[in-house]
């Protein structure tokens, strides 16, 4: 059986990676006000540019998709500019980076939602004893059931 060398280059579609090492996404929670990526995030990812590919931390596609303090977003111009700075830092260090898109859905909490509304989900029941949801206030939250038409409205605004 042939085992590929981790240090050997690999092609992933149009991407040519210098090695087969992939940095898995890690929730860093280092975004600034407005969920904007910070210079610390650019430095963090650039320091890991030797990996064949970096997959960024989970990044909210809309305000309704948030649910974790200090996690970044990609739904405002300031957030997009912040991610451009991160990407530039990684590229200057010779790296490649993909952004992990994220929507918390029914696991979110009203404290993260516009007008403190219940989070949306495909089903209107809570997650039970879910630690991600209860860590904020100690209370569980029952999501609002959504329709497909509403899901379409929640697409990333800058998706093109």
Look at the chain and report how many structural domains it folds into: 2
Same domain, 54 and 120: no
Residue 152 predicted with pLDDT over 80: no
What residue has token string 């890991």? 48
Long-range contacts of 104-107 (CB under 8 A, 24+ apart): 104/60, 104/65, 104/66, 104/67, 104/68, 105/65, 105/143, 106/143, 107/67, 107/132, 107/133
28-77 tens-digit pLDDT: 899 999 999 999 999 999 999 999 999 999 999 988 888 888 999 999 99
pLDDT tens, residue by residue, 80-126: 999 999 999 999 999 999 999 998 877 777 778 778 777 777 666 66
Q: Which domain holds residue 139?
A: 116-154
Pairing of strands 97-102, 53-60: parallel
Q: What is the value of pTM for the model shown?
A: 0.77
Q: What is the pLDDT of residues 124-138, one digit of tens each?
A: 666 665 544 444 555
Q: Is the pLDDT of residue 145 over 70?
A: no
110 in a domain, yes or no? no
Q: How far apart are CA 79 and CA 45, in angstroms?
A: 16
- The packing angle between helices 77-92 and 39-46, to 10°, is 30
Both tokens of residue 97?
Answer: 């980076």
SS3 content of the chain, % helix, strand, coil (to 5): 30, 15, 50
Query: From CA 72, how far away is CA 62, in angstroms rounded?
Result: 10
Residue 37 domain-assigned? Answer: yes
- Answer whether residue 159 is part of any domain: no
Residue at 131 is within a domain: yes
pLDDT value for 134: 44
Both 13 and 64 in one domain: the answer is: yes
Confidence of residue 147 (pLDDT cuts 50, 70, 90): low
DSSP 68: S
Both 20 and 96 in one domain: the answer is: yes
pLDDT at 49: 98
Is it the case that residue 139 has pLDDT exceeding 70?
no
Q: Is residue 61 part of a domain?
A: yes
């Amino acid at each position: 059986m042939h085992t590929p060398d981790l240090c050997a280059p690999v092609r992933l579609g149009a991407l040519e990676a210098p090695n087969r090492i992939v940095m898995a996404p890690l929730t860093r929670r280092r975004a600034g006000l407005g969920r904007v990526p910070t210079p610390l995030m650019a430095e963090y990812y650039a320091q890991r540019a030797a990996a064949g590919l970096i997959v960024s931390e989970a990044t909210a596609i809309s305000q309704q998709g948030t649910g974790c303090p200090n996690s970044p977003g990609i739904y405002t111009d300031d957030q997009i500019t912040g991610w451009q700075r991160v990407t530039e830092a990684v590229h200057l260090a010779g790296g490649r980076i993909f952004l992990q898109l994220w929507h918390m859905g029914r696991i979110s909490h009203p404290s993260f939602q516009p007008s403190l509304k219940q989070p949306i989900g495909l089903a209107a029941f809570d997650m039970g004893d879910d630690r991600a949801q209860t860590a904020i206030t100690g209370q569980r939250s029952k999501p609002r059931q959504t329709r497909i038409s509403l899901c379409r409205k929640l697409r990333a605004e800058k998706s093109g």
